[in-house]
Structure 1
């Protein structure tokens, strides 16, 4: 066999072997890409995204789209070829696997965390929207979670309403910890609660639950703990349901809040324009940053968005690569977002606060 032919065959076999290794070798990376967008004013899966009953609603037009990012699953392991393709591509982002899934977090735990964050974002969206409309929202302190194998397991349950601790009325979640830590480990704490099932039925009957405190296991000064996380449950004056499956995380809060305000007020806030956006929101209406902003702007523009409501803390990153035809609008609060929508509706684009790279 001629030496040249032998060399060519050897090189080809080596290349094939290297390619096989690249295809079979898992890489410690995950991939993010633009996900679907959903109009909070419209339907999804055959039913309205926002369903409001017990209060007058009004017709809406245009789009107020929440945006998403697709990510590879916690159990998926990219190979080297996929990682390289992702790095080269414009519409994907390759990140370290532990960035999305902290080491040791299972797929089930990741899904649970995303679901909890999504539920909380919906709750805060409702609160901030109703506060903006001066509609009163009351609240009460509840058992948010019970730590496994803790002193409270089997005695207190998630959803129990905490009325008092040792006879002292509880008005905020922080009150619970303050009252518990007045004890020494091994002492009893008396919780006055409305059990979860009774609370759901709007039965106000209370019961007393005695929990023996234990010594805290974390670093620092020893203190008494009972193994619960106190939380807040808001009581809304009418029903607001957000119907959107297979979505997780907190980043749709702003767009849900705007959609609720639009449906509860006469006229429409968009003037028929296609507005998309993202951002967490808290009960006071403050908008917070999110991840994957560049992918969300790509996804929004791909669906036809003309304007993108962008959290102020994400502006610099988003401005580095703005999809053609998309205007980024900087917002820090729900008030900022509503003011921007007024200008968009009136075609006053010069009045819109824009995002810059610095």
Structure 2
């Protein structure tokens, strides 16, 4: 807390018509003065010590951005072989987040306090960023699996949108030790159904697990033999977790590579799919407009919510984007946090995203397009 300079509230200034020349001796005991200085020194030392005390928080900030239509240090972000492609314009920015702090290197309270000064930063509990049930290495591995799955789902969604046939298998890629699935499911198990639902992709497995309040029934194929297994999920917050990494195995009619090194998580899926659709269709979808966006993608085109939407809005503006695609389910977080110069549209499917981009490109009336402010939030 800071005290403003000037007179105390509700106390007028003393008015003197003549200067006062009298000087009186300081009658305060020296012991009292020493105690006052001692208290100030103790407070200063306590504040200094606080700088080195670890906090139970991490700070989430906007990370680097990448153009799905452009290049990275590894080459083209999206490369299509075996099918005709078309020139593109503008930008379709993939947004990322960066975290400062982790259980091995926690931030000090002073570092956390500094984040309050920047609206683009978010302070979140360490236990949310790094769940106690996972090590940092397991968390990083989960991010890599999520990124691979999002890329595969984005390719599937884009090709299905363009009318191509895409076959799919879902398998167990790994099992997290000491979780409900440990000792029940095994790597390379082919998942035939989850709670009676046939999965087409990883996201549908998560939905099937969340839909049943109780044990999850897996029908799998292991070594060519079908079997039915039961796993009781672990509940963490709003999530029901069984402790597996699942992976999609799609059969595509031609080769599509997405190369984005050192980035994990599923939130770039929608923008990957848009980039693929743009390259496969005549004409530049954006007509030169700089877009950014975020959202998971399912193979059947559903767009899902992500974390850190406020930081990604700021990251989009920093990257020069003028238009933004936000998942409908993130709208409650978007309202009231849109930076100046950014127009945000709410999307629920890949078709919604394509419609928004093409409508802006044609300079058509966008009044009918859903926004978070217009009540698109779920």
TM-score by length of 2: 0.74
Summarize the Cα distance change of 1:17–1:250 in structure 2 as closer, same or farther, 3 Å threshold. Answer: same
Q: In structure 2, what is the equivalent of residue 33 of structure 1?
A: 61
- The answer to whether structure 1 residue 84 and structure 2 residue 117 are counterparts is no
Q: C-alpha deviations, 1:255-286, integer Å up to 9, x for none? A: 00000000111111000000000001111111
The within-5 A match list for 1:1-358 is 2=30, 6-7=34-35, 9-75=37-103, 76-145=105-174, 150=183, 157-158=187-188, 191-193=222-224, 232-348=248-364, 350-351=366-367, 352-356=369-373
Summarize the Cα distance change of 1:357–1:339 in structure 2 as closer, same or farther, 3 Å threshold. Answer: closer
Secondary structure of 1:296's partner?
helix
After superposition, the CA RMSD in angstroms is 3.2
Give the distance between the partners of 1:16 and 1:147, measured in 2 at CA.
47
Summarize the Cα distance change of 1:3–1:218 in structure 2 as closer, same or farther, 3 Å threshold. Answer: closer
Give the distance between the partners of 1:242 and 1:150, measured in 2 at CA.
34
Contact 1:139–1:233, Cα closer than 8 Å, also in 2: yes
Summarize the Cα distance change of 1:82–1:318 in structure 2 as closer, same or farther, 3 Å threshold. Answer: same
Contact 1:74–1:110, Cα closer than 8 Å, also in 2: no
Contact 1:66–1:255, Cα closer than 8 Å, also in 2: yes
Using the TM superposition, name which of 128-137 and 230-239 deviates more.
230-239
Q: C-alpha deviations, 1:211-245, integer Å up to 9, x for none? A: 9x9997889xxxxxxx9987641111111111101
In the alignment, structure 2 segments of 5+ residues that lack a partner are: 1-28, 193-197, 206-216, 235-242
Give the distance between the partners of 1:7 and 1:27, measured in 2 at CA.
31
Q: C-alpha deviations, 1:276-306, integer Å up to 9, x for none? A: 0000111111111111111100010011000
Secondary structure of 1:81's partner?
helix
Contact 2:305–2:329, Cα closer than 8 Å, also in 1: yes
Give the distance between the partners of 2:370 and 2:38, measured in 1 at CA.
61
Summarize the Cα distance change of 1:256–1:178 in structure 2 as closer, same or farther, 3 Å threshold. Answer: closer
Contact 2:274–2:354, Cα closer than 8 Å, also in 1: yes
Secondary structure of 1:60's partner?
coil
In the alignment, structure 1 segments of 5+ residues that lack a partner are: 164-170, 181-189, 194-208, 220-226
TM-score by length of 1: 0.78
Instruction: Give 1 or 2: higher helix fraction.
Output: 1
Give the distance between the partners of 1:215 and 1:346, measured in 2 at CA.
52
Q: Aligned-pair distance for 1:172?
A: 6.0
**Higher Rg of the two aligned structures:** 2
Using the TM superposition, name which of 13-22 and 112-121 deviates more.
13-22
Tell me the matched-pair count.
Answer: 314
Contact 1:320–1:357, Cα closer than 8 Å, also in 2: no
